[in-house]
Amino acid sequence: MIINELKFNDQGLIPAIIQDEENNQVLMLAYMNRESIQMTLQTKKCTYFSRSRQKLWLKGETSGHFQQVKSVSYDCDSDTLLILVRQIGVACHTGERSCFYRQIPLEEG
Amino acid sequence: MIINELKFNDQGLIPAIIQDEENNQVLMLAYMNRESIQMTLQTKKCTYFSRSRQKLWLKGETSGHFQQVKSVSYDCDSDTLLILVRQIGVACHTGERSCFYRQIPLEEG
């Protein structure tokens, strides 16, 4: 099981980058624990661990904006996941397709 | 200053997703502290905070594989960055272009 090779942080979580498989847009970053990874693999729908609510969170359960899993990769350090999804509706709770809809001007540096 | 709106974790860090501006490939995830964000904006080259070495890390300083910053976005929770870069050479220390070169079979679930 590759899951056993993953490195979780001291809260038992690993960050997951969610990318739209259709156009490669980065949609969001969320956190998974071991159980949510297993749920995600089994159901082919992204399930996260909500840090604010401290429980599993099936993305789309209330909004209908499910994320259908197409592939799951992990990085060289085994401490980050990259998940390609087919996004139903939008990823962000604000109604934007991606959570990354605001820019920091390079001139701020 | 938008930097003042960002939410850093209890170690003073914020994750940054690094994406290739040419083909939208996700290259890596690294962590930044406030100082490394300012360095990144000022120099237009990605500078991270190395958690293992506990110091600033100018990506490419030893390898020559610099990342030229094209844009910096932040997410709806203000706790993740997305940085589009022009990648010189490769992003991963293994020689792979992206750190996400290994897959978890969906059948593992």
Given CB atoms, is A17 within the 8 Å cutoff of chain B?
A: yes
A99·B75 Cβ contact <8 A: yes
pTM tops 0.90:
yes
Kindly report, residue by residue over B63-76, the tens digit of the pLDDT: 999 999 999 999 99
Closest CA of chain B from A32, distance in Å: 14
Confidence of residue B109 (pLDDT cuts 50, 70, 90): confident
* Average pLDDT value for chain A: 96
* Average pLDDT value for chain B: 96
Kindly report, residue by residue over B90-106, the tens digit of the pLDDT: 999 999 999 999 999 99
pLDDT of residue B16: 98
What tokens were used for B1? 């200053």
Q: Would strands B14-20 and A55-58 be described as parallel, antiparallel, or unpaired? A: unpaired
Helix (H) or strand (E) holding A38: helix A34-43
The Cα–Cα gap between B25 and A23 comes to 10
Given CB atoms, is B23 within the 8 Å cutoff of chain A?
A: yes
A71·B103 Cβ contact <8 A: yes
Mutation for testing the A interface, residue in B39, B50, B68, B104 having most A CBs under 10 Å? B104
pLDDT of residue B3: 92
Backbone CA torsion sign across A99, B41, B79, B100: positive
A3·B108 Cβ contact <8 A: yes
Helix (H) or strand (E) holding A43: helix A34-43
A102·B1 Cβ contact <8 A: no
Confidence of residue A107 (pLDDT cuts 50, 70, 90): confident
Q: Please state the rounded mean pLDDT for residues A16-28.
A: 98
Instruction: Name the residue with tokens 């390609």.
Output: A84
Look at chain B and count its residues: 109
How high is the ipTM of this complex? 0.97
Confidence of residue B25 (pLDDT cuts 50, 70, 90): very high
pLDDT of residue A51: 95
Confidence of residue B5 (pLDDT cuts 50, 70, 90): very high
Residue B49: pLDDT above 90? yes
Residue A109: pLDDT above 80? no
CB B68 within 8 A of CB B44: yes
- List the 48-67 stretch of A: residues with Cβ below 8 A of B: none
Confidence of residue A108 (pLDDT cuts 50, 70, 90): confident
What tokens were used for A23? 């156009």
